[in-house]
Structure 1
Amino acid sequence: MDAERRRAPRQRTLLSGVAAFNGGRSTLDCTIRNLSEAGALMVLSDAVALPQAFEIEIPSRQRQYSARAVWRSGERIGIVFTEPAAAVPLDLMRRLKACETANVGLKARIRQLTEAG
């Protein structure tokens, strides 16, 4: 049997996840089959469409990570988290996104009012 090459031991899981890329405009649903602090094993039916670097969201853990594919074999993809310290609770990410969207709307309204005169 081969020696363990992972930096951190992984736990078996059966979690749903969402891989996001292209600035969040493209997403693919996936299943997380094992997970550690450093990476995971994803099962993805459309693995061809997934780029090398992407964001992975695990809603049940309320976490989102930047990730990079290390290996691929059919539907299975081994990933490493590229910024483990940057893991942010999902609710904070959603609140930040809502604030950014509101900010864009407010700036547009200010521009509209100042141009109207």
Structure 2
Amino acid sequence: MQDSDSSPPGGADDPPDESRSDARQRTLRTGRIVINRGASTFDVTIRDMSATGARLLLKDAWNLPETFELLIRNPVSGDWTRQACDKRWQRGNLVGARFTNISG
């Protein structure tokens, strides 16, 4: 019998989402959400990422706006990449984000 309260959606034991257009790769990268035209920022952990989106782990559960910017830190160079995002889903402190401006 499986315990329905064992882990949050999107955990390591969840099957891959076959409807996703681009496969995500697991990662533990540092990120920062930027809202209110840069007036507010929040640190996040990027749990997995593809060329078109990411799954984010917020430090605390709070209702993320429908659009935001995500700063992604390159672990080798320390440089930051900025991506405009749409919130696709949110379950507690886990958020699915779709990149709306694909840049390098």
Normalised-by-shorter TM-score class: 0.7 to 0.9
Q: Which amino acid aligns with 2:87?
A: A
1:50 Cα deviation from its structure 2 partner: 2.2
Q: Are 2:95 and 1:77 equivalent residues in the alignment?
A: yes
Kindly provide the CA deviation profile for residues 62-103 of structure 1, in whole angstroms up to 9, marking residues without a partner as x. 31100011001111000100111xx25xxxxxxxxxxxxxxx
TM-score (norm 2): 0.75
**Count of residue pairs the alignment pairs up:** 86
Whose strand fraction is larger, Structure 1's or Structure 2's?
2
Q: Which has the higher contact order (CA 8 A, sep 6+)?
A: 2
Shift of 1:2: 7.4
> After the TM superposition, which residues 1-117 of structure 1 pair with which residues of structure 2 at under 5 Å, given as runs?
4-60=18-74, 62-84=80-102, 87-88=103-104
In the TM superposition, structure 1's runs of 4+ consecutive aligned residues that sit over 6 Å from their partners are: none
Query: What is the Cα-based RMSD across aligned positions, in Å?
Result: 1.8
Percentage of matched positions with identical amino acids: 37
Cα displacement (A) at 1:3: 5.7
Q: Which has the larger radius of gyration?
A: 1
Structure 2 unmatched runs, 5+: 1-14
Gaps of 5+ in 1: 89-117
Offset at residue 59 of structure 1 (A) = 1.6
